Amino acid sequence: MAHRDLYNVLGVSRGASQDDIKKAYRKLALQWHPDRTGNDDEASGRFKEVTYAYKVLSDPTERARYDRLGPLYTPDGRPPRPEDLNDTVSSVVGRWFGRKNEKKGEDLRYTLTLTLEEVAKGSTRRVVVPRKARCSACGGDGAAPQGKALCEICDGTGRTKGLLLRTDCFHCDGKGFTIVEPCGECHGEGRVELEDKIDVNVPGGVATGQKLRVSGKGNAPLGAGAVGDLFVIVNVADHPLFARRGEDLVVEMPTTYAELALGADIDVPTLDGRTTIRVPPGTPPGRIFRLAGRGLPRIGRSGRGDLHLQVVLEVPEQLAADQRDALQSWSSSLAEDAHPRRRSFDEAVRAR
């Protein structure tokens, strides 16, 4: 179990009189007593904790031993158990390597839906993310402006000479001060929940599933430590005209038989407007016209992909009688070699 300073458990100062200790205990014991809190596990844990703290601190001999030993104190007077020692040593060793008990705040995720046009240009998008930020009123230490007291144990240095090694002060957890009046903004937590407006820089050419990291825009940790990061997950919305293949774009271009047979200039869409392409006479359906450099930006490289325009033949579903006659007579007027592929296909079928 992690060590909690017994004076902190009772909410009294290091120099508290026996009377203060008794009063503090009565109040807390009443608050956490199982008769009042029923079978609540947390409450019964708190009750045991305050009772233990009272047992030690109300006995002058035990209290003196506790003051001397701190986290290594055991009630039976025997040397600390190995697991207690391990806890202490590992936290001390952690501090040597600069880890302290510091934890980074949680990372957050946000899904950002973009249009293909935004992906083509690259853009800055403002997003609103609920996050826990460091409290600006107290700078994150959780104390009101005059609400800090210099730690009596370490005289504000945050360090004490332990039994084994110099280590962080266990009374103030290395902060050098204790909070006598919590910050009114964050109620002592050192962080506040807010709807943060964050400008996310979206590079051109991003694809669905890509993660953009905005560092320091996750949650602030409880206590000291780095603020987490925000990961923006890209989702590119489907487009009614353009399909995406990597950095290339594909557009189906519906055409009429007459346009393909006679040739035509056809207006086609591009991501930033439109252009005209010339379809030569005799163009078959399925042919692809490529507009180089009219696709999406290449990520991590210069240049852009291509725009592919795929010819699709649209056949009328209904014809009036006179149109049918006209088409029929036009068809019979064609020379025998007008459809060479059809002709050899028919020959192959007949030979079977």
Q: Is 169 in the site for Zn ion (CB under 5 A)?
A: yes
Which residue has tokens 């430590």?
225
Q: Is 143 in the site for Zn ion (CB under 5 A)?
A: no
Question: If binding means CB under 5 A, how many residues of this protein chain bind Zn ion?
Answer: 12
Q: In the beta sheet, which residues pair with residue 128?
A: 197
Q: Is 149 in the site for Zn ion (CB under 5 A)?
A: no
Q: In the beta sheet, which residues pair with residue 191?
A: 134
Which one of 46, 132, 171, 308 is in contact with Zn ion (CB under 5 A)? 171
Q: Is 24 in the site for Zn ion (CB under 5 A)?
A: no
Rounded-to-integer distance, Cα 236 and Cα 163, Å: 60
Q: Is 134 in the site for Zn ion (CB under 5 A)?
A: no
Which one of 154, 202, 227, 311 is in contact with Zn ion (CB under 5 A)? 154
Q: Is 135 in the site for Zn ion (CB under 5 A)?
A: yes
Give the x/- contact pattern for Zn ion in 76-115, rule: CB under 5 A: ----------------------------------------
Which CB atom, from 135 or from 251, has the smaller least distance to Zn ion? 135
- Output the smallest distance, CB 102 to Zn ion, in A: 17
Q: Are 211 and 231 in contact (CB under 8 A)?
A: yes
Q: Is 137 in the site for Zn ion (CB under 5 A)?
A: yes
Torsion 26-27-32-37 (CA) sign: positive
- Assigned token pair, 15: 């120099």
Q: Is 133 in the site for Zn ion (CB under 5 A)?
A: no
- Output the smallest distance, CB 132 to Zn ion, in A: 12
Number of other CB atoms surrounding residue 13 within 10 Å: 15
Nearest CA to 288 among 309, 307, 272? 309
Largest CA distance in the chain: 120
The amino acid at residue 297 is: P
Binding residues for Zn ion, per CB under 5 A? 135, 137-138, 151, 153-154, 169, 171-172, 183, 185-186
